[in-house]
């Protein structure tokens, strides 16, 4: 009689433990995914963090294998955020990943390369694009190459000889007859000289 009681007790205990294990396993699911770069090549060794959105608690932290695959099992049913980080890539974040009872949620993650921002500062290419140092010490924009005489605040930094040369050049360009007939006087000026000579005689 005692042997039968012990057998029944052992049977019910085993049945109870099996039911508990089934209940715990049935209330969970899994997330699996493949991490790739923009060309489609797999990214091995990427850090994967899985956070429960309802509680904000980090539920799982793992790395991708040699094939760029990660699998997180026995995750409680809920909604998760999956964050993936790897050197040379921007962080990839996926929200609202649902985990259902006894189901495996599959996802594909495509990593984007880091953007290299050009440093803007003295001597940088971006700085030289808008300003350049004149040989005489003048600093101005290449998109508005105005003559030094139009900048009174810069007049002290410009060589006087250079200023005179600029004025001479501006005067020459303002007389189109000299550009078209170099070394010749205009007919009107010649006539004026002849009239003056005639008046003297």
Question: With DSSP H G I counted as helix, E B as strand and the rest as coil, what are the percentages for the chain, rounded to 5?
Answer: 35, 30, 35
CA 193 to each of CA 64, 181, 182, 190, 197: distance values in angstroms, whole numbers, following the listed order: 97, 19, 19, 5, 6
What is the pLDDT, as a whole number, of residue 155?
Answer: 46
For tokens 């649902």, the residue is 98
Full domain range(s) for residue 137 = 125-192
102-150 pLDDT, tens digit per residue, is: 999 999 999 999 986 555 555 555 555 544 444 444 444 444 445 544 4
- In this structure, the answer to whether residues 82 and 166 fall within a common structural domain is no
What pTM was computed for the model? 0.48
174 and 89 in a common domain: no
Do 93 and 180 lie in a common domain?
A: no
**Residue 53 belongs to domain with CATH number:** 2.60.40.10
Higher pLDDT, 115 or 77: 77
pLDDT at 18 over 90: no
Please report whether residue 200 resides in a domain.
no
């Amino acid at each position: 009689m005692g042997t039968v009681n012990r057998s029944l007790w052992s049977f019910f205990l085993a049945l109870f433990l099996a039911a508990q294990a089934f209940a715990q396993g049935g209330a969970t699911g899994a997330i699996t995914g493949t991490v790739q770069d923009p060309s489609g090549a797999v990214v091995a060794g990427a850090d994967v963090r899985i956070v429960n959105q309802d509680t904000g608690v980090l539920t799982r932290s793992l790395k991708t294998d040699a094939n760029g695959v990660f699998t997180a099992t026995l995750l409680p049913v809920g909604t998760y955020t999956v964050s993936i980080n790897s050197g040379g890539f921007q962080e990839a974040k996926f929200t609202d990943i649902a985990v259902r009872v006894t189901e495996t949620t599959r996802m594909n993650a495509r990593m984007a390369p880091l953007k290299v921002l050009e440093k803007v500062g003295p001597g940088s290419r971006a700085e030289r694009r808008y300003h350049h140092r004149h040989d005489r010490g003048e600093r101005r924009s290449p998109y508005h190459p105005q003559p030094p005489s139009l900048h009174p605040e810069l007049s002290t930094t410009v060589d006087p000889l250079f200023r005179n040369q600029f004025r001479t050049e501006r005067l020459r360009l303002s007389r189109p007859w000299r550009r078209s007939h170099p070394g010749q006087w205009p007919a009107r000026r010649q006539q004026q000289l002849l009239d003056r000579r005639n008046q003297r005689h």
